[in-house]
Amino acid sequence: MKLFTSVLPNGKTEIRGDLIAGITLATVAIPQAIGYANIAGMPLATGLYTLLIPSLIFAVFASSRHLSIGADSSTALILAGGLTAVAARGSADYISLALMVTLVVGILLIVSGILKLGFIADFLSDTVMIAFLTGVGIVIMVEQIPGMLGISNLGNGVINIASAVFTHLDLVSFISIIIAAASLLIIFLSRKISRKIPDMLIVVIGSILISIIFNLKSTIDTIGNVSQGLPSLTFPTADSFSMLPQMSLTIASLFLVAVAKSASLSRVYSSKSHDSFDENRDLISLGIANIGAGLTGAFISSGTSGRTEVTYYAGGKGQFTQIVMSIIVIVVLVFLTAPLSNMPLAALSAIVFVIGLEMVDVKGLRSIIKKSKGEAIVAVASIFAVVFLGVEIGIVFAMVASLLFHVKSGYKPKNRLLVFKDGQLATLPVSSRKQALPGLIIYRFNSSMYYANAPTLREDLETLSNDVKWLCLDMSAVPSIDISAGDALIESINNLKEKNVKVVFSDVDPDVSKDLLRLGITYEVGPESFFKFPRDVVDAYEKSEYT
Q: Which domains does the chain have, with CATH numbers?
A: 12-408 (no CATH), 416-546 (3.30.750.24)
Pairing of strands 440-444, 416-421: antiparallel
> Is residue 98 within 8 Å of residue 247, measured between CB atoms?
no
The rounded Cα 76 to chain-centroid distance in angstroms is 14
Q: What is the pLDDT of residue 183?
A: 97
- Spatial distance between the Cα atoms of 320 and 308, rounded to a whole number of angstroms: 13
Phi, psi (deg, nearest 5) at residue 221 = -70, 135
Q: 3-class DSSP state for residue 503?
A: strand
Phi, psi (deg, nearest 5) at residue 312 = -65, -50
Neighbours of 187 (CB within 10 A): 20
DSSP letter (8 states) at residue 470: E
Q: Where are the alpha helices (DSSP H) in 44-193?
A: 44-49, 53-61, 73-83, 92-114, 126-149, 158-167, 174-193
Q: Which residues of the chain have pLDDT under 70?
A: 1, 9-13, 153-155, 545-547
pLDDT digits (tens, 9 = 90+) for 338-382: 999 999 999 999 999 999 999 999 999 999 999 888 889 999 999
Count the alpha carbons within 13 Å of 252 in the hemisphere toward its beta carbon: 11
Pairing of strands 502-506, 530-531: parallel
Report how far apart, in Å, the C-alpha atoms of 113 and of each of 264, 286, 320, 395 are. Answer: 15, 9, 23, 22
Neighbours of 253 (CB within 10 A): 26
DSSP letter (8 states) at residue 172: -
- Spatial distance between the Cα atoms of 182 and 126, rounded to a whole number of angstroms: 35
Total residue count of the chain as it appears in this document: 547
Q: Cα–Cα–Cα angle for 281, 283, 31, nearest 5°?
A: 120
N-to-C CA span, the chain = 67
Q: 3-class DSSP state for residue 211?
A: helix
DSSP letter (8 states) at residue 447: S
Q: Cα–Cα–Cα angle for 256, 261, 264, nearest 5°?
A: 120
Q: What is the pLDDT of residue 135?
A: 93
- Spatial distance between the Cα atoms of 452 and 87, rounded to a whole number of angstroms: 44
Neighbours of 526 (CB within 10 A): 11
> Is residue 158 within 8 Å of residue 142, measured between CB atoms?
yes
> Is residue 234 within 8 Å of residue 296, measured between CB atoms?
yes
- Binning the chain into helix, strand and coil, the percentages to the nearest 5 are 65, 5, 30
> Is residue 106 within 8 Å of residue 291, measured between CB atoms?
yes
